[in-house]
Chains A and B, each alone.
Chain A
Amino acid sequence: MFKTVENISAYYANPQRFMRLAQALHAPLWGLAIVVLALGLYMVSQTPDDYQQGSTVRIMFVHVPAAWMALFAYSFIFFASVTALIFRHPLGHVAGRAAAPIGAVFTLIALITGSLWGQPMWGTWWVWDARLTSVLVLFFIYLGYIALWQAIEDHGQAARAAAILAIVGSVNVPIVKFSVDWWNTLHQPASVSRFARPALHADFLYPLLVMGLGFTLLFLALTLTRMQMEILRQRARTRHNGGAHV
């Protein structure tokens, strides 16, 4: 089993082969993402209003999957960076770079939709709730990762420095989560009570799961497209430098 995984990953270390696979996957993946998202949106439109929150509850169907994606994309970047640094797989750097702006945008969507929901529900656009704070810090980790990629001119150096940062950041994320939980409970006990929500009713749960799947597919499709772009850009750069490998 492990041997097969190794063989497959060694096979796709050649960007030419990866590009062939990516081209084959491109259209089906996008098609599936669009279909599932459309289905999810339709299911969301059929949900009843919440008896407490009214129609604002529907923000949740974008907010929660976006927050999932914020974490999923970061885990993706972490694994891509480990693959690149430790196993020296050339696609790792490409995957990390491709996924970062997408993850950052999902994080921003989670923050903005959360804020839009918080205004009518909590009466304020922003609270220094533990969860909000840690997602905000995650957003800045994304920004740092993207900025480091952009700032270092040498492509190989930028790739490895960014991978190190991604790994450091992934150690940091749980520590931030732990400390803001501690901080928040110490300073403002239940001023913003996370209302103990009864287990999500099936009317809400299934649309949410479908939206979650749709967001995951959308993330994968976007990442695949950006990986293709990145490989093409590298090829153009190599050609521009007179064929020298950069």
Chain B
Amino acid sequence: MMALFLALCHQHILLAWRGGHTTLIVSFLFIAIILMPFGLGPELSLLRQLAPGLLWVVLLMSVLLSLDRMFQADFEDGSMDQMALMALSLEMMVIAKSLGHFIALFLPLLAAIPLAGLLLNIDAAALPALMLSMLAGAPALTLLGAIGAALALSIRRSAMLTVLLVMPLYVPVLIFGASSSASALSNGGAVDMASIAILALMSLAALFLAPLAAAAALRVALR
């Protein structure tokens, strides 16, 4: 059981790395960040003020863009049918894939945040709170994204649809994530534990509920 779980997770990470998705998604994050000063103007004080919120929004968009990689390849080449026959339940398979997705795509994005923040002249004091909030919200983002990815699985060009399906689910995470980093900025870097706790709560709830929904959606697509 455990070996199967880890093997699935490992395979997802390898596929993301070797397929170049990790590089692509991190590049997207930087491209989106680099475009901001052109749109908003290069004034450093303005960018400094907006930096935490912009980083959160761009992180969300990067995660949204990565979602069609979650199950699509396995579904198209038929591995998903085999996985459905495994000793591992589809729910656990969703968790394994989400964990792989988190390690292969979310952690590199998170590692890129300080550098991207530098480009936006972020206040260094706000960085720890910002990254902590992103880490606390990460399981929710990945697992809720898995629901959208699983629902849109049987559609050929599903990226835009997945974005539409998942966006409403991401709104609460963004609200608490962005506000925790905003309050850290105004309190000289003090971490706002209340909103971190709410993000962690959302992540825990997603860990219990999202695999059920995603696995149900996978069963529909696999029928």
Residues of A bordering B, CB below 8 Å: 137-138, 140-141, 143-144, 147-148, 151-154, 156-157, 160-161, 164-165, 167-169, 171-172, 175-176, 178-180, 182-183, 186-187
Does the CB pair B216–A151 fall under 8 Å? no
B84 to chain A, nearest CB (A): 15
User: B51 contacts which chain A residues (CB < 8 A)?
Assistant: none
The yes or no answer to B34 lying at the interface (CB within 8 A) is: no
Assembled-state Cα–Cα distance A183/B151 (Å):
29
The yes or no answer to B108 lying at the interface (CB within 8 A) is: no
Highest count of chain A CB atoms <10 Å: which of B164, B167, B168: B168
Does the CB pair A176–B179 fall under 8 Å? no
User: B151 contacts which chain A residues (CB < 8 A)?
Assistant: 148, 161, 164-165
Does the CB pair A168–B213 fall under 8 Å? yes
The yes or no answer to B184 lying at the interface (CB within 8 A) is: no
Assembled-state Cα–Cα distance A151/B220 (Å):
14
A103 to chain B, nearest CB (A): 14
Beyond A157-B223, A164-B220, A175-B202: 12 further Cβ-contacts under 8 Å?
A137-B168, A141-B168, A144-B161, A156-B223, A161-B220, A165-B165, A172-B168, A172-B172, A179-B176, A183-B175, A186-B183, A187-B179
User: A167 contacts which chain B residues (CB < 8 A)?
Assistant: 213
The yes or no answer to B171 lying at the interface (CB within 8 A) is: yes
Contact A160 to B220, CB < 8 A, known contacts A152-B155, A168-B147? yes
Residues of B bordering A, CB below 8 Å: 147, 151-152, 154-155, 158, 161, 164-165, 167-169, 171-172, 175-176, 179, 183, 202, 209, 213, 216-217, 220-221, 223
Interchain Cβ contacts under 8 Å between A and B, 29 examples: A137-B168, A140-B168, A144-B165, A144-B167, A147-B165, A148-B152, A151-B158, A152-B154, A157-B220, A157-B221, A160-B220, A161-B151, A161-B154, A161-B217, A161-B221, A164-B217, A168-B169, A169-B168, A172-B172, A175-B172, A175-B202, A176-B171, A179-B171, A179-B172, A179-B175, A179-B176, A182-B176, A183-B176, A186-B183
Nearest 5 A/B pairs, CB to CB: A179-B172, A183-B175, A160-B220, A144-B165, A179-B175
Q: Which secondary structure dominates chain A's binding surface?
A: helix
Contact A151 to B161, CB < 8 A, known contacts A161-B221, A164-B220, A186-B179? yes
Does the CB pair A148–B161 fall under 8 Å? yes
- Contacting residue for A143 out of B164, B176, B216, CB 8 A: B164
Does the CB pair B152–A151 fall under 8 Å? yes
User: B217 contacts which chain A residues (CB < 8 A)?
Assistant: 161, 164
User: B175 contacts which chain A residues (CB < 8 A)?
Assistant: 179-180, 182-183
Assembled-state Cα–Cα distance A141/B169 (Å):
9
Shortest Cβ distance from A183 into B: residue: B175
Contact A140 to B167, CB < 8 A, known contacts A154-B154, A164-B216? yes
User: B161 contacts which chain A residues (CB < 8 A)?
Assistant: 144, 147-148, 151
